[in-house]
Amino acid sequence: MSTILKTLSAAALAVLTLTSAAKAEVSEHFIIHEVTQTPQEAATLIRDFIAMNDDWSLNGDFEMMGGAAVGMKICFNAMRGFVGAAGLHNLALMPCGNIAFYEEGGQSYLSMLDVGYITLLSPHPSLEEGVALARPAYVEMFTEVLGVK
């Protein structure tokens, strides 16, 4: 498993290096914000917030690109019931918060896959209701914890 992660990290670094000169178009499914913290500092703030808040869960936390970036998988816990109500096969869509912190050109960024991706993969009224609940919760957390507007 460690070899796979190292290979993926090396591949990600190669892709980042190749794409930094020619920026790719960002899909509307990504939410990207500049942050004032380093990637590691931002991740620590999110970890600390989740550790002290029962509304959230940290499902995964890992360094990427030799520690230059941090990936996190977090969940707004209220979302779980909506996902389960749409059919247990939808549990594979969890966690709904897929986040990366990285630095580019001396500026740190937060990149998050918009939680609405789950309704693209599995259209269901329950999932749409959960997304409507989760989106503002993520916005509030990022504003409170990272100062993102």
pLDDT of amino acid 2: 56
- For the chain, the structural domain boundaries read 27-146
> Mean pLDDT over all residues of the chain?
88
pLDDT of amino acid 3: 53
Task: Tell me phi and psi for residue 45, to 5 degrees.
Answer: -60, -40
Q: What percent of the chain has pLDDT over 90?
A: 78
pLDDT of amino acid 140: 97
Would the CA dihedral through 24, 73, 135, 40 be positive or negative? negative
pTM for the model: 0.81
pLDDT of amino acid 21: 42
**CATH number for region 27-146:** 3.30.310.70
